[in-house]
Amino acid sequence: MKYKIIVEEVISDEFNIEADSEKEAINKAIKMYKLGDIVIAPGNLEHKQLAIVKSDSHKLEWIEF
């Protein structure tokens, strides 16, 4: 039997952004992320979980591991 599994990870890292304000730093970070200039690899693993996808239900039962 085959099962479809979803694995979700939350990773983080720190980046230095030169800006004149917090708002500008956030906007620059978003732009840099979208352009691929900010990449988290491998980063710090903060959280991981998985769930089995069931065709008869939209509800996922997440299991932390």
Encode pLDDT of 36-52 as tens digits: 999 998 899 999 999 99
Name the residue range of residue 45's domain.
Answer: 4-64
- Looking at the DSSP bridge assignments, the partners of residue 9 are 48
Identify which of 51, 48, 49 has the alpha carbon closest to the alpha carbon of residue 11: 48
pTM of the model: 0.69
Instruction: Flag whether pLDDT at 33 surpasses 80.
Output: yes
Residue with tokens 């500008």: 24
| DSSP H helical ranges for 1-63 | 22-35
> Given pLDDT bands bounded at 50, 70 and 90, which one contains residue 26?
very high
Number of structural domains the chain divides into: 1
The pLDDT of residue 59 is 84
Do the Cβ atoms of 58 and 10 come closer than 8 Å? no
Identify which of 16, 7, 4 has the alpha carbon closest to the alpha carbon of residue 49: 7
